[in-house]
Amino acid sequence: MTSIETVVGDITAISCDAIVNAANQTLLGGGGVDGAIHRVAGPALREACRQLPELEPNVRCPVGGCRITPAFGLPARHVLHCVGPIYRGGKHDEYQQLVSCYERAIWIAASLGLSHVTFPAISCGAYRFPIDKAAKISVRAVHKAVLSEPGIRRVTLVAFDDIMHRMWVKELQEVRAE
Ligand code: ADP
């Protein structure tokens, strides 16, 4: 059984096997949680990202995709860089792209034998995904993905504020009651 929990905090301070980054397609750093992760990890993280193959000029990961690097100065061991969708009303495949981020991060972690993965609220900042919808999507995607990945023992959803935390608490209660 995988334990899925939510906490309020700064993901860059969490010790675990892998923290997930809410990155952009360049993977070269940005604002929000991405900026915080790169600041704490140090310049080696940017260099590791830069060395990942480009799919097209300046695109190292598609929307809904995930790439892994070491975590360098962070207390975690690895960083799983996910590119969430920019929310544009919900009719541009944003839901499936957000599901895909959570699934792929879990699958990559499982394929490497990692057991504790920690997520921020992907797309819930600059990318403006409605947080109630994102909370539901993320809890359901994680819950489903770990069913077939018994090596994943623990998933932590890190909210940066109480509002996001409350959303995740509610969705976790609902999924447990089903
Ligand atoms: P996106 O571009 O995918 O929307 P953002 O970084 O703008 O990514 O925001 C994603 C979420 O991460 C937001 O809920 C934001 O409050 C949260 N966040 C920002 N900094 C941190 C941090 N240090 N730890 C955890 N969550 C963070």
Ligand 1 centre distance from Cα of residue 157 (Å)? 12
**E-state strands within 37-108:** 66-70, 78-83
- Torsion angles phi and psi, residue 70, rounded to 5: -65, 170
The C-alpha R_g of the chain, in whole angstroms, comes to: 15
Classify 2 as helix, strand or coil. Answer: coil
Domain region containing 57: 3-177
The helix or strand, by DSSP H or E, that contains position 167, with its residue range, turns out to be: helix 162-177
Distances (CA, A) of 111 to 114, 161, 169: 8, 31, 28
Ligand 1 centre distance from Cα of residue 23 (Å)? 10
> Residue 73, class by beta-carbon neighbours within 10 Å (0-12 exposed, 13-18 middle, 19+ buried)?
middle
Count: domains in the chain: 1
Q: Are 117 and 66 in contact (CB under 8 A)?
A: no
pTM, rounded to two decimals: 0.98
pLDDT at 1: 82
Establish whether 34 is a catalytic residue. yes
Given 10, 17, 34, 162, the catalytic residue: 34
Enter the tokens of residue 131: 């947080």
Distances (CA, A) of 132 to 10, 48, 51, 107, 118: 20, 34, 36, 24, 19
Nearest residue (by CA) to ligand 1, atom 13, is: 125
Nearest residue (by CA) to ligand 1, atom 5, is: 125
Query: 66, 160, 168: which to mutate for ligand 1, most atoms within 8 A of CB?
Result: 160
**E-state strands within the chain:** 3-8, 18-23, 66-70, 78-83, 116-119, 154-159
Ligand 1 centre distance from Cα of residue 105 (Å)? 17
168 lines ligand 1 (CB under 6 A): no
127 lines ligand 1 (CB under 6 A): yes
Ligand 1 centre distance from Cα of residue 115 (Å)? 23
72 lines ligand 1 (CB under 6 A): no
Q: Are 142 and 3 in contact (CB under 8 A)?
A: no
Q: Are 66 and 84 in contact (CB under 8 A)?
A: no
| CATH number, position 122 | 3.40.220.10
- Splitting the chain (178 residues) into consecutive groups of 10 residues, what average pLDDT does each group show? 96 98 97 98 98 97 98 98 98 98 98 98 98 98 97 98 98 95
Model confidence over 53-77: pLDDT tens digits?
Answer: 999 999 999 999 999 999 999 999 9
Which residues touch 6 (CB under 8 Å, ≥6 apart)? 156, 157, 158, 159, 165, 168, 169, 172
